[in-house]
């Protein structure tokens, strides 16, 4: 699984586990970044270890 934002292997910032999409639907959701993704290991909102982008389903280019 590659981070949609920084193109590095996606690692959970909270627990350090490498994240793998469990099914194609989830992968598609992540590429659109509109759906919140939880880390399957620690169940926190997934945050990219490298670029610190949270996969919380919010578009960070939009304020509010
Ligand atoms: Zn990243
Ligand atoms: Zn985790």
Q: Is the distance from CB of 6 to CB of 51 less than 8 angstroms? A: yes
Cα-to-chain-centroid distance, residue 24: 14
Question: Range of 60's domain?
Answer: 1-64
How far, in Å, is the centroid of ligand 1 from the Cα of 64?
22
What's the structural domain count of the chain?
1
14-57, pLDDT tens digit by residue?
999 998 877 777 667 666 666 788 898 999 999 999 999 998 88
Decide if pLDDT at 62 tops 60.
no
Q: What is the dihedral of CA 58, 46, 12, 40, to 10 degrees?
A: -160
How far, in Å, is the centroid of ligand 2 from the Cα of 10?
11
How far, in Å, is the centroid of ligand 1 from the Cα of 40?
17
For the residues of 11-64, what is the DSSP string, one character each? BBTTT-PBP--SSHHHHHHHHHT-SB-B-TTT-SBPBBTTT--B-BS--TTS--
């Amino acid at each position: 699984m590659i981070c949609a934002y920084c193109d590095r292997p996606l690692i959970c910032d909270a627990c350090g586990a490498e994240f793998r999409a469990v099914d194609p639907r989830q992968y598609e959701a992540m590429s659109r970044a509109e759906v919140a993704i939880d880390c399957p290991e620690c169940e926190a909102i997934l945050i990219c270890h490298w670029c610190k982008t949270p996969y919380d389903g919010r578009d960070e280019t939009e304020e509010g």
